[in-house]
Structure 1
Amino acid sequence: MSRYPEVKWAQRADKVFITVQLSDSKDAKVNLEPEGVFNFSGTVGTGNTHYELKLDLYDKVIVEESKINVGVRSIFCILEKAEKVWWKKLLRGDGKAPHYVKVDWDKWVDEDEDKGAGNLDSGGMDFSNFGGMGGMGGMGDMMGGMSGMGGMGDMMGGMGGMDEFEGSDDEGQEATKQADKAEGDAKPDEHGAGTSEKKEAEAST
């Protein structure tokens, strides 16, 4: 029986950041569709526990300009929005976000503070393009069997075009105290796109 990995998200006016929190994943496959459908699957551990999820995103994305980094501790994706507008929430529909989808407070900024993706610390990750790997099927096949992903950086070096990012974020994927505090309430995922919701989330813990 499949399990759901924990997912964290944040956004800017033109991008959505999705982090799948899954350490040492094997056979990791990510499929992104222009209509805003995000699929992930992978296995973990000696028992090959299977994880998978499907996210129907709030709006459309540009697959060819979206980027992905598969690391030892997580799979980090930068999705390019088709329209440069702030999403009210991550997922379409009227229901609440699933319990495993949480706000990534480490990457979150409020709409009035948004200065573009350049203020995100991406830790010198090497990104590959979703649309530049022979389609999404090719991306999944390339990821298959790359447990640990220690050589991913060398393999994908120079393909990301993400020179504006500096620092070390891949090594800081573990939830911080602030994130743990804020994530006690899943409501910000569904409705949190600004300061008031952020304060409510922090006050409710």
Structure 2
Amino acid sequence: MSRHPEVKWAQRADKVFITVQLSDSKDAKVNLEPEGVFSFSGTAGTGNTHYELKLDLYDKVVVEESKINVGVRSIFCILEKAEKVWWKKLLRRDGKAPHYVKVDWDKWVDEDEDKGAGDLDLGGMDFSNFGGMGGMGDMGGMGDMMGGMGGMGEFEDSDDEGQEETKPADKVEGDAKPDEHGAGTSEKKEAEAST
């Protein structure tokens, strides 16, 4: 019996980002069809557990313009939309998405803030075109040649890196008024001494 790997997704007006979360995958095969069918199969883990999934995407895609990167921890795909419009959801079907499909909040941008994929830091990933592989996207054995992603840490916000944490200025003794935050230390001592 096969299992479903976790899938994360985000979008821009012209692209859909799909990340199949599967560490140390072997024999990874990805297939993308112009009608918007995304398929994945592969094995992972010490017991060589088989994983597979098939997603009927919301709309059509351009296979030749789409790209893929097989990394150590995941398979990351950039799918080029056939029409440059925002999709209401990832999948064509009605109802909620399956439990293994989640929004990738690290890559998500709201429609009104969309500047294209140029705002996404891909950390120098090496991508192959789906179309360059005969449209099949069969990635079996190619993970080593393409260079690993090195982990999803490359996508995390790096605004805080290299910056010192700022702390509020130390309070000067006696700054707090007794009726505000409780009696300050010096006020307590004075009150005790006068009684």
TM-score normalised by the chain length of structure 2: 0.73
Contact kept? 2:131, 2:137, Cα under 8 Å:
no
- 2:151 is aligned to 161
The change in CA–CA distance for 1:80 and 1:24 in structure 2 (over 3 A counts) is same
Following superposition, the deviation at residue 155 of structure 1 comes to 3.3
The change in CA–CA distance for 1:55 and 1:198 in structure 2 (over 3 A counts) is farther
Following superposition, the deviation at residue 94 of structure 1 comes to 1.2
- Computing the radius of gyration over CA atoms, which structure comes out larger, 1 or 2? 2
The change in CA–CA distance for 1:187 and 1:193 in structure 2 (over 3 A counts) is closer
- When structure 1 is superposed on structure 2, of 39-48 and 186-195 the one drifting more is 186-195
- Secondary structure (helix, strand or coil) at the match of 1:189 reads helix
TM-score normalised by the chain length of structure 1: 0.69
Following superposition, the deviation at residue 121 of structure 1 comes to 1.1
- Secondary structure (helix, strand or coil) at the match of 2:99 reads coil
The change in CA–CA distance for 1:159 and 1:105 in structure 2 (over 3 A counts) is closer
2:162 to 172, 188, 196: 172
Following superposition, the deviation at residue 88 of structure 1 comes to 0.2
Following superposition, the deviation at residue 172 of structure 1 comes to 17
Q: What RMSD over aligned residues (CA atoms) do the two structures have, in Å?
A: 15.9
Following superposition, the deviation at residue 93 of structure 1 comes to 1.9
- Secondary structure (helix, strand or coil) at the match of 2:16 reads strand
Distance (Å, rounded) in 2 between the aligned partners of 1:89 and 1:55? 12
The change in CA–CA distance for 1:74 and 1:194 in structure 2 (over 3 A counts) is farther
Contact kept? 2:73, 2:151, Cα under 8 Å:
no
Unaligned runs of 5+ in 2: none
Contact kept? 2:71, 2:147, Cα under 8 Å:
no
Alignment coverage as a number of residue pairs: 195
Distance (Å, rounded) in 2 between the aligned partners of 1:126 and 1:29? 17
Q: Quick one: percent identity of the two aligned structures?
A: 93
Q: Residue by residue, what CA displacement relative to the aligned partner does 1:120-173 show, whole Å, maximum 9, x if unpaired? A: 011110000000013306545xxxxxxxxxx96883489999999999999999
The change in CA–CA distance for 1:121 and 1:95 in structure 2 (over 3 A counts) is same
Contact kept? 1:34, 1:63, Cα under 8 Å:
yes
> Counting helix residues as a fraction of each chain, which structure ranks higher?
1
